């Protein structure tokens, strides 16, 4: 395998791992439910996406053909993560889950 291909795969793996770590830290450190939704839906989705892209490049180079499994996983992840986060936020709003004052923001005039 050429050096530039290994470097590309490594960059996607490291970048994806960093995004996943940032998402996990955000899930742990953010103060309330609404802000905690941003960790898994934004950063972790990008992290898993980077790792899946690295996997697609690696196995595509190994087999000499495009791997559709990784592309389907990525598509499914990008479609379901925002929808599930939206549904969780709507359910929390219906249950009148409390949030901290900073989360509310300023009302529209």
Residue 55: per-residue pLDDT: 93
**Backbone phi, then psi, for 97, in 5-degree steps?**
-65, 130
Distance from C-alpha of 91 to C-alpha of 103, rounded to nearest angstrom: 17
Residue 109: per-residue pLDDT: 37
Distance from C-alpha of 64 to C-alpha of 58, rounded to nearest angstrom: 10
Tens of each residue's pLDDT in the chain, 109 residues: 899 999 999 999 999 999 999 999 988 888 888 888 887 788 888 999 999 999 999 999 998 888 788 889 989 988 998 899 899 989 998 998 888 777 666 554 3
Q: Where are the domains of the chain?
A: 3-98
Q: How many CB atoms lie within 10 A of CB 92?
A: 16
E strand map for 16-91: none
Residue 42: per-residue pLDDT: 83
């Amino acid at each position: 395998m050429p050096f530039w291909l290994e470097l590309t795969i490594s960059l996607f793996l490291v970048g994806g791992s960093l995004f996943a770590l940032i998402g996990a830290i955000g899930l742990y450190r953010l103060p309330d439910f609404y802000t905690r939704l941003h960790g898994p839906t934004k950063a972790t989705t990008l992290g898993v996406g980077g790792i899946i892209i690295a996997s697609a490049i690696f196995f595509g180079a190994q087999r000499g053909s495009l791997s559709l499994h990784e592309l389907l996983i990525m598509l499914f992840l990008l479609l379901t993560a925002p929808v599930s986060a939206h549904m969780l936020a709507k359910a929390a709003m219906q249950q009148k889950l409390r949030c901290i004052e900073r989360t509310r923001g300023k009302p529209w005039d």
